[in-house]
Structure 1
Amino acid sequence: MDTVQEGGCACGAVRFRVGAAPRRVGMCHCMTCRRIHGSAFGVYAVFERGDVEFSGRTEAWHSSSEAWRHFCPVCGSVAFMEYPDTGEIDVPLGAFDKSGLYEPAYELWCRRREPWLPAGVRTEYDEDRPRQPDGDTS
């Protein structure tokens, strides 16, 4: 698989290019992810900020004490989540041009998971992942 991957929003006004493998890939069942995706969960590949290049204008809102969610102001698609304190960028898997690139290794906020979704498939966290002593969450 090529390390360089590209993608973008639904209308093409925002594009991105990643030049490295993700640090990790996970699913999130929190209510914010459910609502912004209009789905039962969100799935994100997590990259170092310097590994992702964006073109096009985004708008952002502070969705939690740690994160800013960026979206395309034209079509409303989720573009990425930014964590300034950790230097990470979460890119939704559905925004990549190719499918089947990355498989989630864990699930967050499983206490909000729909009961019809299978459990026990990957590492599960009732809420968020615990932070490591150095602040890293990998």
Structure 2
Amino acid sequence: MSYSGVKEGGCQCGRVRYRVDVEGAEAYLCHCRMCQKATGGFAAAFVQVEDDHLTWESQPDWYDSSPIAQRPFCKHCGTPLGFRFKDGTGQDLTVGSFDDPSDFVPIAHAGAESLHEAWIDLRALPRQRSEDTKSVADRWHQAGLEVPE
């Protein structure tokens, strides 16, 4: 990770917010089936942070995702916000929940037993921006809004 300092983040609806000093934090992808199911994705992108570096400005909801772990989320919008072991110190925040996740670079793959190789190197796939996708842009414009970034 190339960034150090304080970053902010939270859920999609804005009810849950946090501030965290990411000095020394490491980003990674977890491919385990628990993370796949918890996020609905092929992997969960996390940043490991220390508890004393994290301040929840508004508290998340928590659920026991397994006998050994808990996950914070927003019960209003459903945003998955992270992961922590019940007996551990520190926790992992979802990269996508940061207001600006662009500074994070993953250093490792965890849960590699469930890694889907076809989803790792996607550079050759065509890319289309949301504002250039007519079906998406039209719906935002009909709602009286611009397409969000």
TM-score by length of 2: 0.72
Is residue 10–residue 98 contact of structure 2 (8 Å, CA) maintained in 1? yes
Q: Identity across aligned pairs (percent)?
A: 26
Moved more, 20-29 or 72-81: 20-29
Counterpart-to-counterpart distance in 2, 1:117 and 1:84: 30
Residues of 2 paired with 1:110 and 1:2: CA distance?
A: 27
Q: Does the residue aligned with 1:13 lie in a helix, a strand or coil?
A: coil
Q: Following TM superposition, by how much is the alpha carbon of 1:118 offset from its aligned partner in structure 2, in angstroms? A: 3.7
Structure ID, larger Rg: 2
Equivalent residue in structure 1 for 2:46, among 44, 47, 50? 44
Shift of 1:74: 0.6
CA-atom RMSD in angstroms: 1.8
TM-score, length-scaled by structure 1: 0.77
Q: Tell me which of 102, 105, 111 is aligned to 1:103.
A: 105
Partner of 1:123: none
**1:108-119 to 2 correspondences below 5 Å:** 108-118=110-120
Q: Is the partner of 1:116 in helix, strand or coil?
A: helix
Aligned pair count reads 119
Instruction: Give per-residue Cα distances to partners, 1:37-65, cap 9 Å, x unaligned.
Output: 11110010001101000122322122233
1:71, CA displacement in angstroms? 0.8
Q: Deviations over 1:1-53 (max 9, x none)?
A: 45010011010000010123243221111112112211110010001101000
Q: 2:92 aligns with which of 90, 93, 99?
A: 90
Identify unmatched segments of 5+ residues in structure 2. 122-149
Identify which of 70, 73, 79 aligns with 2:72. Answer: 70
Q: Determine if contact 1:61/1:68 at 8 Å carries over to the other structure.
A: yes
Counterpart code for 1:113: L
Q: Distance in 2 between matches of 1:39 and 1:53?
A: 27
Deviations 1:68-117 (A, max 9, x none): 11110111111222234221111000011113221111101112111313
Partner Cα distance (1:22, 1:47) in 2: 8
Query: What is the distance in 2 between the residues matched to 1:10 and 1:31?
Result: 24
Q: 1:35 aligns with which of 24, 30, 37?
A: 37
Whose helix fraction is larger, Structure 1's or Structure 2's? 2
